[in-house]
Chain A
Amino acid sequence: MNSESNSKTISAAVLFEQALLLLQRFRQQLAIWLEPSHLEQLRPQLGYQAGVLAGFALLAAILLGLADFATRGVIQLRLEEDLQANLEQVIPAELHDNKLLADTLILPSADANLGAAETVVYLAKKQGLVTAVSFKFVAPDGYAGPINIVIGLSRDGDILGVRVISHVETPGLGDKIEIAKSKWVLSFDGKSLDNLTFEQWAVKKDGGVFDQFAGATITPRKVVQAIRRGLEFYRAHQAELLNR
């Protein structure tokens, strides 16, 4: 019994030694192969060139794959934090006791011109009853590009808050739609389709009640129109959402 285990350890040691020897030989071979003079002979060969290109592509693909694998969860978490922060800006904390990100409903919005075929609606609930809703949508026709907006609405469809998440409007002119630059977006608070007529949902230049900016009319006009479309979208699905 004892001698048997002895011979086993001996054979394992031999195997290990052989493996080391092989590894050493492989490293020597690799060192010879990597000699600048040897590589100089290889470089003009077409097969070598294809191999090197493929090798570098493979290396890059492996690196990127590993990095993606290592960071995917973290990035997902960061995006959720961003979304959470956006939703908290438009839905007051005292209106809900649930997790906004967990309580969602996906509605088709292809006809509503909100910039996406489907819109995720986040439901704010207190003791199981829907108190407010929030969703993100896009004004696809901003002056310089799409304007991403998040809106919070009460049960009755009054605006609790509106924020512009991202946009590419002209700095110094159109960027007053950001809360950091101007209080303009606060002028939507409390407005709804009930307390303003369809004609009043426009900038003052078009006969409505909302200010435009000096030197920039298109940006606020498109934001106002998009918010009105958002309200109409809510009204169309109001019954469905409140019964959740």
Chain B
Amino acid sequence: MTLATLFSAPYRKIARDGLWDNNVVLTQNLALCPLLAVTGTATNGLGMGLATMAVMIASNAAVSASRHLIPPEIRIPIFVLLIAALVTLVDIFLNAWMHALHKVLGLFIPLIVTNCVILGRAEAFASKQPMLPSVWDGLMMGLGFTLAMVVLGAAREISSAGTLFANASVLLGEGFRFIELTLIPEYKGFLLMALPPGGFIMLGFMVAAKRLIDQRLTKSAEQQIDGLINIEQISELKV
């Protein structure tokens, strides 16, 4: 395997699926429970996204490695067992070695077990694919999830408190204090956006925006094809 493998057509499709076409949040509308619970700020969204991504990569790898061993009749209990064990490991390690982050995310890490996306990827992808594509799929789906979490968290944080990436230095270390911004000074705050209903409303806008962009893209692609056909017809006429 070389680095070029990751840029070949099937891998590009996995990346495109995870990041945009089949995005966990924006297209599949899965994982809404952790999504609405933690995206009060962009920083929390980022932390939860990264933790979920780590679990997804590990669970995809574990499921792919043992896919021949696992009989289809008992695959779901085994997947759940693997995912629960991995999440508990992440929880323990974060608590021991990244304690400040664990204090921020602690409540939400056990929620990763209930994140249907991880089981979904194990079932739909990793149980049928070799190791490398499975890990790549976990990485890309996780990255797509993280991106959606950060964007939603940022939108809610700006509208509810006027800040962006508050407390990021707790999550990423003192070196990242510069990304903590106060965008709207003296902002009175808009409480609704900090509460779960605000998350739903903002998520609705994001899903709508993605649909709109997709529509534009297909339309312009069709126009291009139309254009090509016209040119062909013209050239045929000339011939």
Which residues of A line the B interface, CB within 8 A? 34, 36, 39-40, 43-44, 48-49, 52-53, 56-57, 60, 63-64, 67-68, 71, 74-75, 78, 81-82, 170-173
Q: Which of B28-36, B80-88, B223-231 contacts A (4 or more CB under 8 A)?
A: B80-88
With a CB–CB cut-off of 8 A, which chain A residues contact B40?
A: 171
Q: Which residues of B, 22-70, contact A by the 8 Å Cβ criterion?
A: 40, 66, 68-70
Which residues of B line the A interface, CB within 8 A? 40, 66, 68-74, 77-78, 81-82, 84-85, 88-89, 92-93, 95-97, 99, 103, 160, 189, 191, 194-195
Closest to B95 in A: A75
**What's the Cα separation between A81 and B102 when bound, in Å?**
14
With a CB–CB cut-off of 8 A, which chain A residues contact B93?
A: 67, 71
Inter-chain contact B89/A48, CB cutoff 8 Å: no
**What's the Cα separation between A63 and B92 when bound, in Å?**
12
Inter-chain contact A75/B85, CB cutoff 8 Å: no
Main secondary structure of the interface of B (DSSP, over half): helix
With a CB–CB cut-off of 8 A, which chain A residues contact B99?
A: 78, 81-82
Inter-chain contact A78/B95, CB cutoff 8 Å: yes
Inter-chain contact A52/B71, CB cutoff 8 Å: yes
Inter-chain contact B85/A64, CB cutoff 8 Å: yes
Inter-chain contact B74/A63, CB cutoff 8 Å: no
With a CB–CB cut-off of 8 A, which chain A residues contact B160?
A: 172
With a CB–CB cut-off of 8 A, which chain A residues contact B96?
A: 71, 74-75, 78
Q: Can you list 27 A-B contacts with CB-CB less than 8 angstroms, sorted by A residue number?
A: A34-B68, A43-B71, A43-B72, A44-B71, A49-B74, A52-B70, A56-B78, A56-B81, A57-B81, A60-B84, A60-B85, A63-B89, A67-B88, A67-B93, A68-B92, A71-B93, A74-B96, A75-B96, A78-B95, A81-B99, A82-B99, A170-B195, A171-B191, A171-B194, A171-B195, A172-B160, A172-B189
**What's the Cα separation between A107 and B59 when bound, in Å?**
46
Inter-chain contact B77/A53, CB cutoff 8 Å: yes
Closest to A170 in B: B195
Closest to B73 in A: A49
With a CB–CB cut-off of 8 A, which chain A residues contact B77?
A: 53
**What's the Cα separation between A173 and B96 when bound, in Å?**
32
**What's the Cα separation between A112 and B119 when bound, in Å?**
46
> Can you list the 7 inter-chain pairs with the closest CB atoms, starting with the nearest?
A60-B85, A71-B96, A43-B71, A74-B96, A172-B191, A78-B99, A39-B68
